[in-house]
Amino acid sequence: MPDFAHAFARRTRLRGGDELTAILAGSPPGVLSMTGGFPNPETFPTDELDEIAARLVRDDAAVALQYTPCAGIPSVRDYLIDRQEQLHGRRPERAELIVTSGGMECIALMCQALIDPGDAIAVEAPSYLGALMAFGAAEADAVAVPMDADGLLVDALAARLAAGLRPKFVYTIPEYQNPTGRTLPLDRRRELVELCRRYGVLIFEDVAYRELSFAGTSLPSLWSLGPDVVLQAGTFSKSFFPGVRLGWAAGPADVVAELAAAKQTTDQCAGGLGQRLVEEYGRAGGFERHLPSARALYASHWAALSAALTRHMPDDVAWTEPTGGFLTWLTLPEGLDTLAIRPAAQAAGVAYVPGPPFHVGGHGRNTLRLSFSHLTEPELDTAAERLASVVGAALEDRSPFTTAGGT
Ligand SMILES: Cc1ncc(COP(=O)(O)O)c(C=O)c1O
């Protein structure tokens, strides 16, 4: 058999391991999976989609089934502009918003448009695995900025900028952050926008989970506070359904124009059918009708997992308290290694994502991410109990699970 490894590009070795592929593949039968940030299928509005999809195929095939302009179908962009005004209190100009094939594509477009090999960018520590992989493959020099319980430490970023760091952008997930579930408070949002404006640094705001606050309220987005310095990536994956592969990019017109130009070499255009589904569903008030029950479902799932963690976990395990989204972040006692204990967890019938892939440089060996979105509440309790027993066993016998270097 010929071997083509010699032909693989250098970037194939720079993007990191196969953690994301494994998450998307799902867990084997019998394993309760808390890995993926997958929306709960109960939130998929299937009846409405059934009707809208049939109508589009019947009456709108020439648009919905055709190629579309790179920046999106004009009526869909108009809808997204209206929606941006409704949700963020500021109306983007036409040149300030395009349709993308989801949040991940926007990250890839940002890499294409802004990153030359060796360019610095700043990221939260920890941050979204998919983004870190894309930045790695683009050969960015990702500089990790620490977080506390309230998210990005803007003072720490300020210190780095004062010391001469000039990143192409600062990538941040202000709400219910992936992987920590943390939310950036208003004063830090203002400080971050002011800081980046002062240094002429672009903020890359990822609002993947923003519409899924448990209480139904949200703080002003960074884009609404600083449309001159913020490029916002949004997605319908969590608030509608990921199969639609649709999102948006909103920000300074020159950046948005470069993203639209880069899209010529990715997929050329987002799928027309998905674009029109979002528009028709949204114009008919679908999001307003359905999101309250989705928020209530995730709030209830979090309450169930939080109670189960409290009930089952050893005392010296800590976790974050998200106020929206799908994710919580666990910190185990120093010396435990979440990569090393993963096989034992799988054998016990529970799956999580270990912390290191969320860190530039693979730190955080005693951390892990749990998603509470798609298991049922009784399953969340069982999953927490199984995980707690594995952690308890690892604590009792640290030596086999301890790796040199600790956390
Ligand atoms: C923070 C964040 N950004 C972007 C994405 C990718 O979203 P999409 O499905 O729209 O590509 C995800 C998916 O989990 C995410 O968690």
CB-CB contact of 143 with 120 (8 Å): yes
- Asked whether the predicted pLDDT for residue 405 surpasses 80, the reply is no
Q: Helix %, strand %, coil % for the chain, to 5?
A: 45, 15, 40
SS3 372: coil
What is the dihedral angle through the alpha carbons of 238, 241, 275, 223, rounded to the nearest 10 degrees?
0
Q: How do strand 327-331 and strand 318-319 relate by DSSP bridges?
A: antiparallel
Instruction: Measure 242 CA to ligand 1 centroid, in angstroms.
Output: 9
pLDDT on residue 113: 98
113-119: long-range contacts, CB 8 A cutoff, minimum separation 24: 113/255, 113/258, 113/259, 113/261, 113/262, 114/168, 114/169, 114/202, 114/255, 114/258, 115/139, 115/140, 115/168, 119/167, 119/168
- Asked whether the predicted pLDDT for residue 400 surpasses 70, the reply is no
Instruction: Measure 406 CA to ligand 1 centroid, in angstroms.
Output: 30
Q: What is the mean pLDDT of residues 198-219?
A: 97
- Asked whether the predicted pLDDT for residue 259 surpasses 80, the reply is yes
Query: Which strand (E) or helix (H) includes residue 32?
Result: strand 32-33
Task: Give the dihedral sign, CA 371/372/374/377.
Answer: positive
The ligand 1 atom nearest the CA atom of 102: 10
**Centroid of chain to Cα 106:** 12
CB-CB contact of 83 with 89 (8 Å): no
Instruction: Measure 159 CA to ligand 1 centroid, in angstroms.
Output: 29
pLDDT on residue 180: 98
Which is nearest to 182 in space by CA: 224, 153, 220? 153
pLDDT on residue 367: 98
Residue 399's pLDDT band (boundaries 50, 70, 90)?
low
Q: What is the mean pLDDT of residues 244-260?
A: 98
Residues in the chain: 407
- The alpha carbons of the chain give a radius of gyration, in whole angstroms, of 21
Per-residue CA distances from 66 to 59, 72, 139, 271, 306 (Å): 13, 12, 35, 8, 46
Residue 196's pLDDT band (boundaries 50, 70, 90)?
very high
The protein residue whose alpha carbon is closest to atom 7 in ligand 1 is 103
Residue 403's pLDDT band (boundaries 50, 70, 90)?
very low
CB-CB contact of 76 with 279 (8 Å): yes
pLDDT on residue 378: 98
Instruction: Measure 402 CA to ligand 1 centroid, in angstroms.
Output: 32
The protein residue whose alpha carbon is closest to atom 15 in ligand 1 is 208
How large a percentage of the chain has pLDDT more than 70? 98
Pocket of ligand 1 (CB under 6 A): 37, 102-104, 128, 130, 173, 178, 206, 208, 235, 237, 242, 247
The protein residue whose alpha carbon is closest to atom 2 in ligand 1 is 208
pLDDT on residue 398: 77
- Asked whether the predicted pLDDT for residue 59 surpasses 90, the reply is yes
Asked whether the bond before 167 is cis by omega within 30 degrees of 0, the reply is no
The ligand 1 atom nearest the CA atom of 246: 10
pLDDT in tens, 17-53: 787 877 877 888 899 999 999 999 999 999 999 999 9
pLDDT in tens, 312-358: 999 999 999 999 999 999 999 999 999 999 999 999 999 999 999 99
- Asked whether the predicted pLDDT for residue 384 surpasses 60, the reply is yes
Instruction: Measure 162 CA to ligand 1 centroid, in angstroms.
Output: 31
The protein residue whose alpha carbon is closest to atom 13 in ligand 1 is 37
Average pLDDT, the chain: 95
Residue 361's pLDDT band (boundaries 50, 70, 90)?
confident
How large a percentage of the chain has pLDDT more than 90? 91
Instruction: Measure 52 CA to ligand 1 centroid, in angstroms.
Output: 25
Instruction: Measure 68 CA to ligand 1 centroid, in angstroms.
Output: 23
